[in-house]
Amino acid sequence: MKDAVVITVGNEVLKGRTVNTNASFIGNFLTYQGYRVKLGLTVMDDLEDISWAFKTAMDRGDVIVSSGGLGPTFDDMTVEGFAKAIGSDNKLNQDALAMIEEKYKNIEITPERKKMAMMPEVCKPIRNPVGTAPGLLCSVGGKKVVILPGVPMEMQALLESMRDSLAIENSCYFDESI
Amino acid sequence: MKDAVVITVGNEVLKGRTVNTNASFIGNFLTYQGYRVKLGLTVMDDLEDISWAFKTAMDRGDVIVSSGGLGPTFDDMTVEGFAKAIGSDNKLNQDALAMIEEKYKNIEITPERKKMAMMPEVCKPIRNPVGTAPGLLCSVGGKKVVILPGVPMEMQALLESMRDSLAIENSCYFDESI
């Protein structure tokens, strides 16, 4: 049995301003992929808290899926938090930059927009079919870490597009618990 | 600033079969009481996981509110998990037993039903105005731990009834974040 951990990043979720439907969607998706969803973590838009969440999740799960904090604004710091958790730097990923340039077309790529192409070397960008920020699929010590935006439509489309990457071989869904 | 942690217990929440509206309600309630809701934890109906959640929450928050796993059935083990986290035993609380007997009237108090009156000595039972299982208000090393049922109507009514116990003196709600 492979264990999954779901991370949700965002003050608005903790304050109850937003109901955490992203966690339900991801939990449901992972369950039907054959994972046991063992833990859900919701943390603030805070670098230390996000870093703690990824460390805790990697201690307790085989696959980690996060949503939220992936955009261009100052409080979007999920990738930086993940990099801190694994003791890595964020570097400009050329494939991600190309994806972002394609979305913005002739609009200037400001440093804030470029931020969405920065990631640790263990990550590869996944094209966002709905919005701008690419999703990230990362591999750390045999564990998979998937980092998704918080906008539900974008998160859902990206997760669907990663179905094969997250498949467990010879797995079928069997529910023995209530 | 006092920090709050919200714990939700239940496989059905992790699997996305139930959307975690309890966490939103509690997060919103605590925010308006003047707490900063720092962390949300969702764990399985598993003794070790529940115990881990309470330990982690007490490390990171001043007040902890949990919902779920408080009923009479075998998979309701939140109080046992909390007792394990603080290295305490569960003992029969006579006030809680009286509350439960009052609800069941002339129906037999089976061991499963009696379980709802078992708690560590640092906890006191709070009358459930809607259902049977009393809520728990516990005090551990200057921290408050509130343990509530998972049925939304029961959880909400109990939390409302504890408003004064959870009040922060001279606190007002001020939101500086987004």
Instruction: Spell out which residues of chain A touch residue B31, defining contact as CB-CB under 8 Å.
Output: 15-16
User: What does the pLDDT read at residue A176?
Assistant: 63
Residue at A174 is within a domain: no
Determine the 3-state secondary structure of A38 from DSSP.
Answer: strand
Q: Residue A102: which region, alpha, beta or left (left: phi > 0; alpha: psi -120 to 50)?
A: alpha
Residue at B177 is within a domain: no
Q: Is A6 on the interface with B (CB under 8 A)?
A: yes
Over residues B63-106, the pLDDT tens digits come to 999 999 998 898 999 999 999 999 999 999 999 999 999 988 88
What residues make up the domain containing B136? 3-166
Residue at B175 is within a domain: no
| Count: domains in chain B | 1
Residue at B40 is within a domain: yes
Q: Which amino acid is at A40?
A: G
Residue at B123 is within a domain: yes
- Is the per-residue pLDDT at A167 higher than 60? yes
Over residues A120-135, the pLDDT tens digits come to 999 999 999 999 999 9
Residue at B176 is within a domain: no
Residue at B139 is within a domain: yes
Q: Is A16 on the interface with B (CB under 8 A)?
A: yes
Task: Quote the minimal CA–CA distance from B138 to chain A in Å.
Answer: 22
- Is the per-residue pLDDT at B171 higher than 80? no
Calculate mean pLDDT across residues A12-39.
97
Residue at A138 is within a domain: yes
High-pLDDT (> 70) share of chain A, %: 96
Q: What is the CATH number of the domain that holds A150?
A: 3.40.980.10
DSSP single-letter state for residue B35:
-
Q: Is B23 on the interface with A (CB under 8 A)?
A: yes
- Minimal CA–CA distance to B33: which of B178, B176, B170, B177? B170
Q: Which residues pair with A7 in a beta bridge?
A: A41, A66
